[in-house]
Amino acid sequence: MKLQNKVIIITGASKGLGVAMAEECAREGANVVIAARSKPELDSVAKRIAANGGKVEVVVTDMSNPAHLEALVGCSVARFGRIDGLINNAGVNYVKPFLEVDLKEWQRVLDVDLTGSFLLTQICARQMKSQGGGGSIVQIASVHTHASLAGAAPYDAAKHGMVGFSKAAAVELAPLGIRVNILSPGLCATEIWKDIVAAAPSEQECLDYWNANIPGKRLVTPEEVARCCVFLLSEDSSCITGTNIFADLGMTSLLVSREPYASKAITSQ
């Protein structure tokens, strides 16, 4: 097991990617601390993990509340004695035209996605240092750190900021054996995909459009992202820090979408 007896905190663990991350870390032997705002959903995840023999602690946490973040780390140490890893996965978003985004919406996204992640990274890193050093922190960003879509200004700002502070932290924390990496997933088969389909004329048209923009011609699964997190938390990635890894089936490598027609081969003369 890659994470045997490691203590890993996972935020945003009540749904989607966070659930897959928590369950995968537990399968790899970690003691997991799962955090989110909804206790009933967290309890459901914890019940499944415990039923499979995993050790799990539930901590209701609002990422925009600094006191909650301190309590999250405190509860983790009280239950398991230490912290070895963190997955900063929690996030919120608004999809809204740039000229219509108000300050309250802008601030809400930055408070959770950027400031909350910064503070929790800092608190966990201090705990890791007090333990004698060593540890791994994984920041869940997005392909939006490479390019943007309309209506995503607050989210893009937050995720770019996450990459920036994480690279700085990686440089400063490396001598302590604490690694900080960023994982940027592409379009995933989570709740957001249901929203995208619901907003499209039909599910098939939606699939056709996205398959033209994803070289892998499918969505990334939560389990795939979770396995990437395990790799970054484990000793398998011991020489990797300060890196932004794109788990996107080639999306950010594609210059433009595929033609909706069959092109003839172009050969040199």
Distance CA 114, CA 165 (A): 9
Please tell me the predicted confidence (pLDDT) of residue 97: 96
Higher pLDDT, 222 or 205: 222
What is the pTM for the complete model shown? 0.95
Q: What is the mean pLDDT of the chain?
A: 95
In CATH, what number is assigned to the domain containing residue 110? 3.40.50.720
Looking up tokens 């992640």, which residue turns up?
A: 117
What's the confidence (pLDDT) of residue 52? Answer: 96
- The whole-angstrom separation of Cα 182 and Cα 13 is 18
Our measurement of the distance from residue 120's CA atom to the centroid of its chain's CA atoms, rounded to an integer in Å, reads 14
Same domain flag for 92 and 149? yes
Number of domains the chain is built from = 2
Domain range for 137 = 7-185+221-247
Residues 104-125: what's their mean pLDDT? Answer: 98
How would residue 76 be classed by pLDDT, with cut points 50, 70 and 90? very high
Q: 155 catalytic, yes or no?
A: yes
Question: Which among 94, 155, 209, 261 is annotated as catalytic?
Answer: 155
In a domain, residue 264? The reply is no
Interval 188-210: pLDDT, tens: 988 888 888 888 889 888 988 99
Asked whether residue 76 falls in the same domain as residue 209, the answer is: no
